[in-house]
Amino acid sequence: MAAIPLAKAPLAALKKLVLDDLIQVKSSHVTEALAAALGFRTHAALQAAMTGPEEERPFVLLDTDSFLDRIRSFGYELSAEDARFDFELFGGDAPIVRTMPSSAFDIEYKTARDRAWRNLMVLGVNAALDQRLFSLRPGDDRFDDTLRRGHLFDFVLPNGLPARGSVATAGFDELALHVAVNPKGENVRFHSGGFSAGDAFGTTWLERRNGAWLQSTPDGFRCRKALLPVLAELDAQPRGYGDRGKLIM
């Protein structure tokens, strides 16, 4: 998927690109279909959600299937070529953020251990975004890390367990994130924190220069046996970024 901020200018630019691509679809129908792609029932509901300063607005994933389903609901019969429409296929000038690098297609979270790591990292990034410690825009870091030790932040998992994260700049617009469950002191700051940081501990890097996605690095994940299925079953949905991609060296 691709993502876009809930802001007037990028949404208007995206609509123009869509109209140029799907020339038979009316402007008003594209408007409503874009709202559906962003998870809203109507354009009015989307408009109501676009509040506050534009630079503070969240990035939201664009669901191509929901977009095409809404187009079809207006009675259009899409050609085979039109049915292959995908927001990810727009060129580099499009006002979107790509969330799936080519390496993402080689990565699957098949085991409970992989899913637990993935869920913990997604929930950690979501919490940091909610606390406005950074955005998905390249270089938009808002946390204080003057000591270069990582900025600490606390949050609660959907199942009520306490968690603590650490975020630091990693160069090239990447962020290094560590997250611990049932945290112990400030050891979550350290990449090798392991069980000294909490009953579960994972690390990742968040790419923001060429797109926005987690670099899949579950190898260093540490988790108490009883906690593993609990974390693996959590509902964790990325907010405007992808959840997989190979480590960028």
Per-residue confidence (pLDDT) for residue 54, from 0 to 100? 85
Closest by CA to 129, choosing from 249, 3, 227, 220, is 3
Mean pLDDT value of segment 141-149: 87
- pLDDT category at 132 given cuts 50, 70, 90 is very high
Tens of pLDDT, residues 80-101: 999 999 998 887 788 999 999 9
Mean pLDDT value of segment 184-207: 97
φ/ψ (deg, to 5) at 10: -65, -35
* CB burial of residue 189 (10 Å; 0-12, 13-18, 19+): buried
Q: Which secondary-structure segment (H or E) carries 15?
A: helix 8-21
Which one has a higher pLDDT value, 243 or 57?
243
Identify whether the C-beta of residue 110 lies closer than 8 Å to the C-beta of residue 103.
Answer: no
Task: Enumerate the domain spans of the chain.
Answer: 2-98, 103-232
Closest by CA to 201, choosing from 177, 185, 223, 218, is 223
Mean pLDDT of all residues belonging to the chain: 95
The radius of gyration computed from the CA coordinates of the chain, to the nearest angstrom, equals 19
Per-residue confidence (pLDDT) for residue 248, from 0 to 100? 82
Query: How much of the chain exceeds pLDDT 70, in percent?
Result: 100
Angle between helices 8-21 and 27-37 (to 10 degrees): 120
Q: Token pair 């945290």 is at which residue?
A: 183
pLDDT higher than threshold 90 for residue 146? no
